[in-house]
């Protein structure tokens, strides 16, 4: 049976958990994540976990920060006053937002408290 290699388009279901066991993301209830191996469409650690799997095979892996989004950089953490958001927006921990900086460039942010 063939295994997933660079250049193959794959579809996978996944569940991401933190070391604490808290689930932070999952494809449960959605379509599988589809990507082409080796094209850098997803984080390197996830690609490495999928590479070599056969159809129907599953695995568990721990992805280090260096193979994901990098180490936490406190210089990238900031605060915005609540009045900078629409009043009808419900803010909850983990909410992902895309804002714009003063030059109109997109900025990805996550609400933490």
Residue 53 burial class via C-beta count within 10 angstroms: exposed 0-12, middle 13-18, buried 19 and up: middle
> 35-44 pLDDT, tens per residue?
999 999 999 9
Residue boundaries of the structural domains of the chain:
9-67, 74-110
Q: Which two tokens stand for residue 77?
A: 């953490």
Q: Phi first, then psi: what are they for 97, rounded to 5°? A: -130, 155
Confidence (pLDDT) at 6 = 97
Residue 68 burial class via C-beta count within 10 angstroms: exposed 0-12, middle 13-18, buried 19 and up: middle
Rg (CA), the chain: 17
Confidence (pLDDT) at 112 = 74
Q: Is 84 helix (H, G, I), strand (E, B) or coil?
A: helix
CB 25 within 8 A of CB 16: yes
Look at residues 46, 38, 41 and name the one whose alpha carbon lies nearest to residue 63.
46
Q: Phi first, then psi: what are they for 74, rounded to 5°? A: -60, -20
Confidence (pLDDT) at 80 = 83
> 52-109 pLDDT, tens per residue?
999 999 999 999 999 998 998 999 888 888 888 888 988 888 788 888 888 988 888 8
Residue 113 confidence (pLDDT) above 70? no
**Which are the contacts of 39, defined by CB distance < 8 A and separation ≥ 6?**
none
């Amino acid at each position: 049976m063939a295994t997933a290699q660079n250049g193959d388009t794959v579809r996978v279901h996944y569940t991401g958990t933190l070391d604490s066991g808290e689930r932070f993301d999952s494809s449960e209830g959605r379509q599988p994540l589809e990507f082409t191996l080796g094209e850098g469409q997803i984080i390197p650690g996830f690609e490495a976990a999928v590479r070599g799997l056969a159809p129907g095979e599953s695995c568990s892996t721990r992805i280090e920060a260096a193979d994901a989004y990098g180490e936490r950089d406190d210089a990238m953490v900031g605060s915005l006053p609540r009045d900078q958001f629409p009043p009808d927006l419900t803010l909850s921990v983990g909410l992902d937002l895309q804002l714009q900086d003063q030059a109109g460039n997109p900025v990805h942010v996550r609400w933490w408290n």
